[in-house]
Amino acid sequence: MSEITDDLFDAFRNVYLALESLLNRLQPRTPGEREGPWLRRALTLVHETAGLETYLAAPADDPVQATYDELWTEVRNSVFHAKDPLRSFLPQDLARRARVADAKDRYVRLYLDLAYRESGSRFPAGGVRISSYAARVAGDAMTSGCQIAFQADPSREDPPGGLSLDRPDITVLPADPALDPRGDSFSALIARTPVRDIPGSGVVGRVFMFTADGQPAFARSLDGRLDLAGFDVCELFLTFRVTGHQARKALYAT
């Protein structure tokens, strides 16, 4: 379920539930035992046999406590719950998405290693990956000199005659290179301009990227119309990543 979903937070939830199920098989939760103490007890057992330090983002003096703090307190509770807006993770917060994606990758490895130790189940692995530097060079080459544009119509179909920068229904915004908090393997562009300076209706329905020579390179419908009336600034952020064929899913639509 984690591998077939196209939503990052849903992927993490299913990884956690799979890991929770396996941990309960290794260290069953007793009647009346609270979930937090049980999880710490189960993680202690895993650490004694497998070593949790392998799955942490950084070294820790107490790998069991560090795993519990990240997996349960910081990520799991923030993704599963929405009662406390100061602690809840929002899906479109890029920094929080990076945190969830990184944790998901590491705890997928923990689950797969435990599943193999417990039942002999080995999921297919392999693939071809390229270095972050090579991915960044390719991404920067792809986005160099590109422009960001939008139109009010959210239709997924290209208009008659195709897309071009000189169409009257397409508004072009100045774009500059930007940084993606997920790391150097991503290349990003940002277009930012005061709403009062945007000609026409000021409604965004479909976003485009055009290459340096004016060729359409990317189009994405918002599946609706975003009216900029009442806003001071319009900001469009596009980010790209060049990857090889990866064994585990890393790219999500939402």
**Nearest one of 5, 2, 6 to 17, comparing CA atoms:** 2
CA distances from 177 to 67, 146, 191 (A): 36, 9, 9
Q: pLDDT digit string (tens) for 64-100?
A: 999 999 999 888 888 888 776 667 787 777 788 888 9
Whole-number pLDDT of residue 128: 59
DSSP string, 91-117: TT-HHHHHHHHHHHHHHHHHHHHHHHH
Within 10 Å of residue 114's Cβ, how many Cβ atoms?
Answer: 20
Query: 0.85 exceeded by the pTM?
Result: no
Helical axes 94-119 vs 35-49, angle rounded to 10°: 60
Residue 41 predicted with pLDDT over 90: yes
**Nearest one of 195, 72, 52 to 114, comparing CA atoms:** 52
124-133, 157-166, 229-238: range with highest mean pLDDT: 229-238
By three-state DSSP, how is residue 156 classified? coil
Whole-number pLDDT of residue 63: 93
Q: Which residue type, as a one-letter code, is found at position 179?
A: L
Q: pLDDT digit string (tens) for 133-189?
A: 787 788 888 888 889 999 888 887 776 777 888 888 888 888 899 988 877 778 889
DSSP assignment, residue 195? G
